[in-house]
Structure formats: C-alpha cells, structure tokens
C-alpha cells in the first residue's frame, strides 16, 4: 500500500529554527506533502530542487536530501511526496527519498492521498501552467486543510489544501492555470518589477508567526512587534479626540444631538457636510476635493509659511500623500528625445518611489545621502548622480523627503536653498515630500517648507515648478488607514494643470472621510474654542513622547557593539548601520539572502521583532542597515530594545 511508504517524523525531531537553502524553479505544478506539524519557511536553489519529469501537461519537482541542508532534509528519515494533478480528481504520486529513482508513478484519488498523509503532515496544493515564476519563499501550513501562501519574486500565489476544492488565488481550480486568459506571462511586465520592502517577505512571515502564536505554538517570545511600518495606532497611539468627533459627526449626523460633543466639533462637521452634495459624505465630491477643505488647506499653508499666499485652486486632495505623488508622477512619464524620463530619489528612499518608478517604466536615478553628516544632502553627490543619469535617461524630477524617511534627518534652510538652485539650474521639477513636517525632535532642528524657502529666494527661483505633499497618516494624528492627504502645485502651466485635473477626474474623487480628516488637521481647534485645551494636551503628549523615544532608540543602538545610529532628528524611524561578521555574511550567501535580510529574518524568528532590511530602501554597497520605527509605546519600546541587544550579542557570538 502506498501509505506504508510514509515514515513519520515527529515535529520535535526538527531544529527549532530552520535555515533553508534557496530554491528557484521554472515550473511549479501539482501537490506535495511534507512531514512534520510545524510551519516552515522553505527556500531552495535549483541544485536542491530539481525538475525530474516533464510531460505534455505537468512537471514533477523533487526536493531531496542534501548535506548542506540544515532543515527537513537534514534528517535521514524525512521524505517528500510529490503528487501531481492530472485530471479532475485523479493524481499521480511518487515517493522521492532518492532523486535517481525512476519507477513509474501509481495512480491515486485525492481521498487516498489524504488518507495516507500522516497525522500533522502538511499538504500543499499548487496547480498551474509552466513558467509560473520564481518562488523565493513558501510558507507551509501546519496541518491539512489550512491555508498556505507562497511569495514569489515575480508574483504571489495563494495556495489551499482544502480536501474538497483545489484553489489558486482563492478561485476554483476546475479551470487550470494553463487555460487562463490572464497569467504572469501576459500581465504588465512593469508590475512584476515593482517591489515594496515595507510589506515584503519578512512581514508575510511575521503574519504567519502571529497566527502560529494564536494557535498555541511555543516560541521564544509571546508576540510579534511590528516595527517595520509607521502605523501609529497599530502600535498603541490613541486617536485625537477632536478629530474622531468630527469624523463621527460627518459619518452619522444624529450625533449632532449628543450634548457631550463640543460645539466647535459640530461646527467643523457642519462646514464639511455643507460642502458635500446632498449634505452627505456618501456623495461624490469634486475630483480635486471639497472646496471648503481646499480653502482650509490653503489657509493652513499660508499661516505655516508666514503669510506667503496659497491658492485653493493649486490644492489637490488625495488618498494619502501617495495618491498625489503617483498622479503627478504619471504626468511626467513622457520620454524626452527618445530617452526614458528619470526620477532622482534619495538613497536610502521610501519604497513608494522606486515601486512607482518601476510601475510607470521610468528610470530610477539614486543619489546617496551623507550618513557621516547626519544623512545630509550633498550637492556634489546630486551632480554626480545627475551626470550618471543623463547617460541613460532624461532626468525630470528631483524628489526630496524632509524630514527623511527612513533616515530621520531634517534639512537646514541653507541645504534647501542649495537644492533649489541645483533643481533650477538643471530644469528639474521639485517633489517635496513633507508628510513628517510635525515630527521634529532634535534641539536646533526646524522644519522649513520648500515653498517658503523657494518664495523667499525671489527671482528666478520663485517661478520654479514645485509639488509638495502632506498627509494625515503621520505627524501627531497617525490616521494611516483613513487615507487623507493633499498636494500643492506651485507654478504649474495652466494647460498642464487642466490636463492634471482631467487625469484625476477619471478617478472620480478621493474618499470623503479622508478629506474630512485632512480638514481637521489643517483646521484644528483655535484658542478660546471648547476643544482647544484637550486638543493641545493630546497633540503635545504625542509629540513629546515621540521625542523621548527618538532619543532612546538612537542612544541604545549606539551603545550596542557593531551598531552606529545617527540622531533621529525627525519623522518616525531610525536607520542604524550594522557591521556584520564575515561568517554571518557567508552564511547569508549560502542561504541565498542579502546579509541584512538574513539578519532581519534571524531577529524575527528569535525575538518576534519585525524590521525592514536596509536593502529594501537602498544603501551604499558594502554597508548594512535596517529601519525600525520609534512608535512602540515607551514600555514596549524599552522591551524591544532590550531584545535587540540580547539578540545581537548572541548573533555576534555565533558568527564571530
């Protein structure tokens, strides 16, 4: 009987931390089951994962014992059964304890396969056409019937081991991928080039670990600390009362009868609803946003910049700052003299830019920030980057993030003046990403808007094209999920502005709740109004706490052997450099990972701390960094930093 071929391996026989070699494959079809009740992150290289049989409509893939494999193949009793779909409910099966065995496969029904699987074994379904893509990470379920996922470098495939239904990407597999109209081979190739490290494989693995902990799995930690993303409320920050009161009122007008809600919040809500068609936030708005909110945004900018005028007609409300960035970048996709348009971005950079550049098939032109000078922006480096870029593209945009993400620097007024002069001389459109303008912590640092500096410089600089961006996701508000933001467009040609409005009109309008949230940010309670004192108390508490945490993070990292961290002058992140031992770099190479990715995975598996490797943001060759937020609440942050120290000391000891 086929079931007698199975040799059960208890989960405790496997190492607690499984280090896999890397795997690449051209074809991934069929069913396979793996012994053990544990979840694994499986990575393989072609020499370990071979394509042994290729027939007219399917391929068998072997995973077999190899001396360097420290995971499942490390145990001599471990086996992999490959079961390949052929027909509606008929499977082909073969035991693969020896890669050279060539006996003819036997035929089994799906129910027979499930019957012979040992208790606790993982069964994963994968069906599809050839050349599905490279599979860089495969997450196996802990038992038959649970959902599994695979993250591919070119695509993501959701697999299911439901005994009743074959499922790929959540849909019935009665129609196999070989007959689908849409496959990874015929989708927009630019999409396959997009990468967004902030939500990459580490985050996927962190999600799996969280589910394992919920199911009672024993690990060296009890929770995952998601320090990978600037998600304020997810890390325990409390919402601003006034802001939520206004959002509640515009969403549910009967709350106007609630006497506990102050009158100034009600008046803000009335103003917003008056600007909505039918008096409801459920209606469409103008494509560039509700007029009264754009007026409030313009007034906010004018007050911020010391009275320099701002025109509501130059304001575009958007779904977060990213919505405005993408639509404005899309305007400049046109090739110049046969060359692709280029976008100059800081390195390290926020991955929104590299992902959007790839999506729009533009050319990324990186300029390195000066780590030795608190991540400052050196004009000499800008000139070097531009000269290199001109050999392969036509640079059109200069992106500056201030305060910086992921680096946390705050640019001086003098530095901004130099940047403006450079952009003017080279005829570049300035994109000023200023979403962290409220987040400035270091004594002596001050936020200066690009618009204010540009206008104060006078002619010819005050006629330059400038696009600046703001969001309600950061600052003291932290309303990331509401997706509110704006862009101010300065000195744009009227004809081009008309084209921009036409472009955004095709998207109808940004969410009205996001617009309402942005309105509260730019039009908060004024002194003398009922909500002013509570609002200022909450706002100040958030920003003061972030300042303390910024100092704590930098001081702690600088006290750890092999770490160096610039002061967190602003924003919500630290970006320390780590000096990794040669042995660790070699181990990462064998695992098929970048050294900082290797370090980050080890940190996650041993401590539950999820960070983003520096390679996801860009870094100078030969250096290794990671980004962590400063957002965990003080007690949790102190605990996290203690775990960091302990882990790093053990890591150095292991790889010294």
The answer on 128 and 31 residing in a single domain is yes
CA distance 242 to 477: 11
Whether 367 contacts 385, CB under 8 Å: yes
| Residue 379 included in any domain | yes
The answer on 562 and 479 residing in a single domain is no
Whether 102 has a pLDDT exceeding 90, the answer reads: no
| Residue 258 included in any domain | no
| Residue 514 included in any domain | no
CA distance 168 to 129: 12
Total domain count for the chain? 3
Whether 80 has a pLDDT exceeding 90, the answer reads: no
| Residue 212 included in any domain | no
The answer on 465 and 541 residing in a single domain is no
CB-count burial class (<10 Å; 0-12, 13-18, 19+) for 251: middle
The candidate with the shortest Cα–Cα distance to 227, out of 645, 631, 535, is 631
Whether 236 has a pLDDT exceeding 70, the answer reads: yes
| Residue 571 included in any domain | yes
Whether 242 contacts 533, CB under 8 Å: no
Q: 3-state DSSP call for residue 608?
A: coil
The answer on 23 and 113 residing in a single domain is yes
The answer on 488 and 441 residing in a single domain is yes
pLDDT digits (tens, 9 = 90+) for 496-516: 888 888 888 888 889 999 999
The answer on 619 and 476 residing in a single domain is no
Whole-number pLDDT of residue 337: 87
Last residue of a domain, one of 509, 525, 545: 509
555 contact partners, CB below 8 Å, separation of at least 6: none
Is the pTM higher than 0.75? no
The answer on 344 and 493 residing in a single domain is yes
Give the CATH number of the domain where residue 605 resides. 3.90.1150.10
Read off the tokens for 585: 């770099």
Read off the tokens for 322: 């990213």
Domain holding 560, by residue range, is: 225-234+536-655
The answer on 620 and 568 residing in a single domain is yes
The answer on 622 and 481 residing in a single domain is no
| Residue 422 included in any domain | yes
The answer on 488 and 442 residing in a single domain is yes
Read off the tokens for 251: 């969403």
The answer on 541 and 474 residing in a single domain is no
Higher pLDDT, 229 or 539: 539
pLDDT digits (tens, 9 = 90+) for 579-626: 999 999 999 888 888 889 999 999 999 999 999 988 888 888 889 999
| Residue 240 included in any domain | no
| Residue 51 included in any domain | yes
Give the CATH number of the domain where residue 395 resides. 3.40.640.10
SS (HEC) of 434-452: CCCCCCECCCCCCCCCHHH
Whole-number pLDDT of residue 72: 33
The answer on 349 and 416 residing in a single domain is yes
Q: What are phi and psi of 399, to 5 degrees?
A: -95, 130
């Amino acid at each position: 009987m086929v079931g007698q071929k199975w040799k059960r391996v208890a989960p405790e026989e496997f190492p607690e931390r499984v280090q896999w070699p890397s795997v690449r494959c051209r074809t991934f079809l069929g069913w396979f089951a793996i012994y053990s009740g544990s979840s694994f992150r499986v990575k393989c290289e072609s020499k370990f994962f071979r394509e042994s049989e290729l027939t007219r409509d399917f391929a068998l893939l072997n995973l077999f014992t190899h001396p360097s494999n420290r995971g499942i193949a490390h145990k001599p009793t471990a086996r992999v059964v490959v079961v390949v779909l052929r027909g509606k409910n008929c499977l082909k099966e073969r035991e693969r304890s020896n890669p050279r065995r060539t006996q003819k496969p036997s035929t089994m029904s799906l129910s027979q396969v499930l019957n012979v699987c040992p208790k606790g074994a993982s069964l994963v379904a994968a069906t599809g056409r050839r050349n599905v893509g490279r599979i860089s990470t495969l997450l196996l379920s802990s038992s038959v019937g649970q959902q599994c996922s695979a993250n591919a470098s070119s695509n993501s495939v959701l697999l299911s081991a439901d005994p009743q239904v074959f499922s790929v990407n959540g849909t019935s597999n009665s129609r196999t991928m070989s007959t689908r109209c849409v496959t990874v081979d015929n989708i927009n190739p630019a999409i396959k080039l997009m990468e967004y490290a902030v939500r990459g494989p580490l985050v996927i693995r962190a999600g799996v670990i969280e589910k394992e902990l919920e199911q009672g799995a024993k690990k060296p930690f009890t929770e995952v600390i998601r320090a990978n993303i600037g998600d304020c409320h997810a890390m325990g920050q409390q919402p601003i009362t006034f802001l939520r009161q206004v959002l509640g009122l515009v969403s549910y007008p009967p709350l106007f009868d609630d006497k506990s809600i102050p009158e100034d919040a009600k008046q803000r809500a009335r103003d917003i609803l008056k600007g909505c068609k039918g008096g409801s936030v459920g209606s469409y708005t103008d494509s560039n946003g509700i007029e009264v909110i754009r007026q409030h945004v313009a007034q906010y900018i004018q007050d911020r910049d010391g009275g320099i005028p701002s025109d509501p007609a130059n304001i575009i409300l958007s779904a977060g700052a990213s919505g405005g960035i993408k639509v404005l970048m899309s305007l400049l996709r046109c090739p110049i003299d046969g060359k692709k348009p280029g976008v100059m971005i800081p390195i390290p950079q926020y991955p929104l830019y590299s992902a959007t550049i790839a999506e729009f098939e533009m050319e990324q032109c990186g300029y390195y920030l000066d780590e030795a000078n608190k991540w400052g922006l050196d004009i000499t480096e800008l000139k070097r980057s531009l000269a290199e870029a001109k050999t392969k593209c036509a640079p059109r945009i200069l992106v500056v993030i201030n305060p910086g993400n992921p680096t946390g620097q705050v640019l001086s007024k003098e530095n901004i003046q130099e940047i403006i002069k450079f952009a003017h001389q080279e005829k570049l459109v300035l994109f000023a990403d200023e979403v962290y303008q409220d987040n400035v912590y270091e004594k002596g640092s001050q936020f200066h808007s690009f618009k204010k500096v540009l206008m104060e410089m006078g002619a010819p600089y005050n006629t330059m094209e400038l696009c600046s961006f703001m969001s309600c996701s950061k600052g003291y508000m932290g309303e990331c999920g509401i997706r509110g933001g704006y862009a101010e467009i300065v000195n744009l040609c009227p004809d081009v502005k008309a084209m921009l409005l036409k472009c955004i009109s095709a998207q109808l309008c940004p969410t009205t709740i996001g617009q309402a949230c942005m309105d509260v940010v730019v039009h908060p309670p004024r002194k003398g109004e009922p909500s002013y004192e509570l609002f200022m108390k909450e706002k100040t508490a958030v920003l003061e706490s972030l300042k303390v945490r910024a100092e704590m993070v930098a001081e702690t990292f600088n006290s750890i052997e092999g770490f160096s961290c610039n002061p967190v002058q602003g924003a919500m992140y630290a970006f320390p450099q780590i000096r990794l031992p040669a042995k660790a770099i070699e181990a990462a190479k064998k695992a098929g990972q970048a050294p900082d990715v290797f370090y980050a995975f080890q940190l996650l598996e041993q401590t539950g701390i999820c960070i983003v490797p520096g390679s996801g943001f860009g870094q100078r060759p030969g250096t290794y960094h990671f980004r962590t937020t400063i957002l965990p609440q003080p007690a949790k942050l102190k605990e996290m930093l203690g775990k960091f120290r302990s882990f790093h000391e053990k890591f150095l000891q292991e790889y010294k």
